[in-house]
């Protein structure tokens, strides 16, 4: 177990919780080491007891002692779940969680018209990416929305772009085009599909790739330098494999950002 450097604090066993509109990702850190991580469905109707029991079951299956957790950091884009999650943390872990939001020390200037509008996950991603690579970059997060966040060479959050995510696009296509079936999201061998399923897969995958490469190229023009492009989110490896601009994939970038912000706010 890694100890926090030079502050005289006890070693942190941190539960990091990233609440997205579709999925919630959880990770347990012992110091800087990510010991376990899980992905569960985000449910607006689950009570704090149900969340607590579910987390206890996940901890038990991974042989992790929930009593060892002495810190919790949460980023959430679902405001109605804040009270539920806070009560779950207090009741099942006896810890008051740190919610990423206004008043939290990020160590990164937010150069947005209204910094309060920036999603917590976008700030967390930007902080984690700049901490790791220390250069100007663009973070692409493949979630319910596909988000692009630009960070200057000095480590300033500059803003970005928000696009419909892959699953949202697929669901919209299925719902609004009566003859088109739901398909598995996999990369087809060819862009020119030879049947309906392959054609839809091509449009979804290579459409997302073209979106990423196109927006990143335009951002590079506006930035005046070639940023490192980092991808995160569950579908990041699939899109990155076909992208010409994505150079790094880190599926746990958001969790790592929560760990960093927890340390900065101890």
Q: Let me know whether 50 and 79 are in one domain.
A: yes
Residue finishing a domain among 59, 75, 99:
99
Indicate if the pLDDT at residue 1 is higher than 60: no
User: How many structural domains comprise the chain?
Assistant: 2
* pLDDT tens-digit series, residues 9-64: 567 899 999 999 999 999 999 999 999 999 999 999 999 999 999 999 999 999 99
44 occurs within a structural domain = yes
Cα–Cα distance, 261 to 258 (Å, whole number):
5
| Residue 146 and residue 194 in one domain | yes
Same domain? 190 vs 242? yes
In a domain, 266, yes or no: no
- Strands (E) in 119-251, as ranges, are 137-142, 145-151, 157-164, 228-232, 248-249
**Domain closes at, from 99, 129, 144:** 99
Domain annotation covers residue 239: yes
Q: Tell me, yes or no, whether 67 lies in a domain.
A: yes
pLDDT tens, residue by residue, 69-122: 999 999 999 999 999 999 999 999 999 999 999 999 999 999 999 999 999 999
Q: What is the pLDDT of residue 10?
A: 60
Final residue in a domain of this structure, among 69, 99, 129: 99
Residues 150 and 240 in one domain: yes
Identify the pLDDT of residue 147.
97
Same structural domain for residues 125 and 152?
yes
Let me know if residue 6 belongs to a domain: no
- Domain of residue 51, residue span: 13-99
Given a contact cutoff of 8 angstroms between Cβ atoms, the answer to whether 234 and 144 are in contact is: no
Task: For residue 178, name the pLDDT band (cuts at 50, 70, 90).
Answer: confident
Residues 84 and 172 in one domain: no
Q: Are residues 138 and 195 in the same domain?
A: yes
pTM (two decimals): 0.91
Strand extents, DSSP E, 78-214: 98-99, 137-142, 145-151, 157-164
Confidence of residue 174 (pLDDT cuts 50, 70, 90): confident
* Residue 221, domain member (yes or no): yes
Collapse the DSSP code of 261 into the 3-class scheme (helix H, G, I; strand E, B; otherwise coil) and give the result.
Answer: helix
Question: Which one of 121, 141, 149, 250 is the catalytic residue?
Answer: 121
In a domain, 91, yes or no: yes
178 shares its domain with 251: yes
Cα Rg of the chain, angstroms: 19
Check pLDDT > 80 for residue 4. Answer: no
Any catalytic annotation for residue 121?
Answer: yes
Q: Are residues 42 and 156 in the same domain?
A: no
Q: Are residues 81 and 138 in the same domain?
A: no
CATH of the domain at 74: 3.30.420.40
Domain check: are 89 and 132 in the same one?
A: no
Q: Are residues 119 and 242 in the same domain?
A: yes
Cα–Cα distances (Å) from 112 to 81, 158, 160, 169, 178, in that order, read 25, 6, 9, 27, 41
**Residue 86 located in a structural domain:** yes
């Amino acid at each position: 177990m890694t100890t926090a450097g030079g502050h005289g604090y006890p070693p942190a066993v941190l539960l990091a919780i990233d609440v997205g509109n579709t999925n919630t990702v959880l990770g347990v850190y012992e110091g800087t080491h990510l010991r376990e991580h899980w992905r569960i469905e985000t449910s607006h109707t689950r009570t704090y007891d149900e969340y607590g029991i579910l987390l206890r079951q996940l901890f038990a299956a991974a042989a992790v002692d929930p009593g060892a957790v002495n810190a919790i950091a949460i980023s959430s884009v679902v405001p109605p779940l804040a009270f539920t999650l806070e009560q779950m943390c207090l009741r099942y872990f006896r810890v008051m969680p740190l919610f990423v939001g206004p008043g939290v020390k990020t160590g990164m200037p937010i150069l947005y018209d209204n910094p309060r509008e920036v999603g917590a996950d976008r700030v967390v991603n930007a902080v984690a990416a700049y901490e790791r690579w220390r250069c100007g970059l663009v973070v692409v997060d493949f979630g319910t929305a596909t988000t692009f966040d630009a960070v200057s060479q000095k480590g300033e959050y500059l803003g970005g772009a928000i696009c419909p995510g892959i699953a949202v696009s697929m669901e919209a296509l299925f719902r609004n085009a009566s003859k088109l079936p739901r398909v598995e999201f996999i990369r087809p061998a060819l862009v020119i599909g030879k049947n309906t399923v392959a054609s839809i897969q091509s449009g979804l995958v290579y459409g997302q790739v073209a979106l990423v490469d196109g927006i990143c190229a335009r951002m590079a023009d506006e930035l005046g330098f070639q940023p490192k492009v980092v991808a995160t989110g569950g579908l990041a490896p699939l899109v990155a494999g076909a992208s010409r601009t994505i150079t790094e994939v880190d599926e746990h970038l958001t969790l790592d950002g929560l760990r960093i912000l927890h340390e900065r706010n101890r």
